[in-house]
Structure 1
Amino acid sequence: MADMAEIDIKEEAKKILSEFEFVQRLQDLVTEAVAQAINRVNEAAEARIASLETELSSTKNRLEEAERRIEDLDAYNRRTSLLITGVPETSGEATDNLVLDVGRAAGLNLSADSLDRSHRLGRPQPGKVRPIIAKFATTNARQKLFDKRKELTAEKVGGHPVLTRSVISRIFVSECLTAKNQQLFFLARQLRKRKSLWAAYTTNGCVRVKKTEGDIAVSIKEPADLEDIVGADAFRELRPRETEPARSARRGSGPAWQASDAINAWVTERRRGRSPAGRGD
């Protein structure tokens, strides 16, 4: 009897297991269990991704803030410095004396104490005159020469062995800008030449522009600031002229190829509808 009962149970179980409803229910339970497991894994992964994205965004913001602070610190450290280009190089020259003589050519009587130090920039190259970077002891002394930079005359240093009339006409005194501000100033000057800006100049290491004569001067920190002022069309059409690289290098206003890269990268990003780093649309 026990054997018969066991056989009946097995047959009944086999019958139940073979029924469609049971098989379908079993499949549904397995599918549901697998789906729940996958959902738990996905939720954990999504939570981890969200956490990493938040961390990445925070890190990016801190990095951008650090870059801004480094840029501001670099600009601040350059406030007492000037670049003087166009002064011929001579063997055994004393650049401190040349800087003071340029000051005399501007009608200034700068003392040796007003100058901290000076030197030529870069390595000597045949046929190339390196600019002089001069760091003054005070911002006031530096500003005196910068304000008088357009008043250089050979008569004020008559008989000077280096600062002749032809040399004086080629000397250019400019602020010692950071690499980023050099590029921004290059872009601003190109826009001014195209009549998209009324004025573009630097003061205390910062680039400032005016769209019209009556406007208040605005400080420029990013290429986007220029685009906001002149409009997307004027900015998109901006391209450096072939003659500008030599002039920029001669005047110490920064390598034009860097500015060209800045323009091209910016225009490409704007055309793709991407927001430039550090600035939201």
Structure 2
Amino acid sequence: MDDAALKEAITRILKDDVFVDIIRDQVRAAVDSAVAARDEEIEALKEELAETRAQLNGLEQYSRRLCLDVSGIPETPNEDTDRLVMDTARLAGVDVSKADIDRSHRVGAVKPGRPRTLLVRFVSYAKREAFYGARRQLRQPRSFEGSTVTTAVASKVFVTDNLTRENQHILYRARQFRKEGKLFAAWSDVGKLKVRLRENGPTTVIRTMTDLQKLVNSAAERRKPQAPTETDGDGFRRVTRGNKSSAK
């Protein structure tokens, strides 16, 4: 076959609708396969990145296990933050000395009329837990002479876990869900975020915002009303009654 005949044959083939459809389908299948493989790879990388972020957040939170946030104490120039912590703890019935405190200082931006949170890092976990465990006693503080924190102030003080920014965001969202009636409770326990869907339900530890969203979504799915079945509530099959006028 000479070149002219070969070109003519190729031209006829390329103009053949069946051949074009075959080539198009093969190209589409190859492209779809390549895209699917790339999508799977991207999804795997996203999951790996999310897991890495969760692990880093967990490590950062663990590094704060000796820390507490104390909010609601008025801020004054040249204040002794260690003394404020010690006096607040004593008002809650816990003896904390300077030797128990690694460091303490205010955190956050200065806002008029609103004292900044006081961050305290304890030397031992036991002392940290003693103060945290007695935090509710501040609603009825035990006054003593020479305290730099008044009982009126102490009754409005909150002692909470020192959370990472990510965990603060997750807990804030969880508490929004609680207000919306989608969760029964949400709280932090030594940096671990925990939620409960029902009053007597199990406690679930939340690591990421995705964990929280999945839990709420799954609960919402379970609450959806079931589609009517062919049986009544007593287990008997429903009977469809015909029009009386058609009955013989």
- Please indicate, yes or no, whether the TM-score normalized by the shorter chain is above 0.5: yes
1:147 pairs with one of 130, 133, 140:
133
1:158 corresponds to 2:158: no
> Structure 1 residues 37 and 69, CA, compared in 2 at 3 Å: closer, same or farther?
same
Paired residue secondary structure (2:193): strand
Counterpart in the other structure of 2:60: 74
Residue pair 1:220, 1:226 contacting (<8 A) in 2 also:
no
Residue pair 1:107, 1:156 contacting (<8 A) in 2 also:
no
1:183-221 Cα distance to aligned partner (Å, 9 max, x none): 332333344445554433221112222233322222233
Bigger mean CA offset, 108-117 vs 210-219: 210-219
> Structure 1 residues 174 and 118, CA, compared in 2 at 3 Å: closer, same or farther?
same
Mapped to 2, the partners of 1:43 and 1:171 lie a distance apart of 65
Query: After superposition, where does 1:1-281 map in structure 2 within 5 Å?
Result: 25-31=9-15, 49-50=35-36, 52-152=38-138, 153-160=140-147, 162-193=148-179, 196-221=182-207, 222-228=211-217, 230-231=219-220
Q: Between Structure 1 and Structure 2, whose CA radius of gyration is higher?
A: 1
The Cα shift of 1:107 comes to: 0.9
> Structure 1 residues 26 and 226, CA, compared in 2 at 3 Å: closer, same or farther?
closer
Paired residue secondary structure (1:157): coil
Q: Provide structure 1 residue ranges, at least 5 long, that are not aligned to the other structure.
A: 1-12, 235-281
> Structure 1 residues 144 and 26, CA, compared in 2 at 3 Å: closer, same or farther?
closer
> Structure 1 residues 232 and 93, CA, compared in 2 at 3 Å: closer, same or farther?
farther
The Cα shift of 1:61 comes to: 2.4
Residue pair 2:93, 2:142 contacting (<8 A) in 1 also:
no
> Structure 1 residues 31 and 131, CA, compared in 2 at 3 Å: closer, same or farther?
same
Bigger mean CA offset, 108-117 vs 81-90: 108-117
Instruction: Give the RMSD, CA atoms, in angstroms.
Output: 3.5
Identity of aligned residues (%): 29
1:5-27 Cα distance to aligned partner (Å, 9 max, x none): xxxxxxxx9xx98xxxx997452
1:72-113 Cα distance to aligned partner (Å, 9 max, x none): 112212221111001111111121221122111111112222
Give the TM-score normalised by the residue count of structure 1.
0.63
The Cα shift of 1:44 comes to: 6.9
Give the length in aligned residue pairs.
Answer: 214
Letter in 2 for 1:114: D
Residue pair 2:94, 2:131 contacting (<8 A) in 1 also:
yes
Residue pair 2:72, 2:115 contacting (<8 A) in 1 also:
yes
The Cα shift of 1:225 comes to: 4.2
Structure (1 or 2) with the greater helix fraction: 1
Give the TM-score normalised by the residue count of structure 2.
0.70
Q: Provide structure 2 residue ranges, at least 5 long, that are not aligned to the other structure.
A: 224-248
Mapped to 1, the partners of 2:129 and 2:66 lie a distance apart of 8
Mapped to 2, the partners of 1:194 and 1:42 lie a distance apart of 47
Paired residue secondary structure (2:58): helix
Mapped to 1, the partners of 2:10 and 2:182 lie a distance apart of 74
> Structure 1 residues 107 and 219, CA, compared in 2 at 3 Å: closer, same or farther?
same
Letter in 2 for 1:28: R
Residue pair 2:90, 2:142 contacting (<8 A) in 1 also:
no
1:59-80 Cα distance to aligned partner (Å, 9 max, x none): 2222112111112112212221
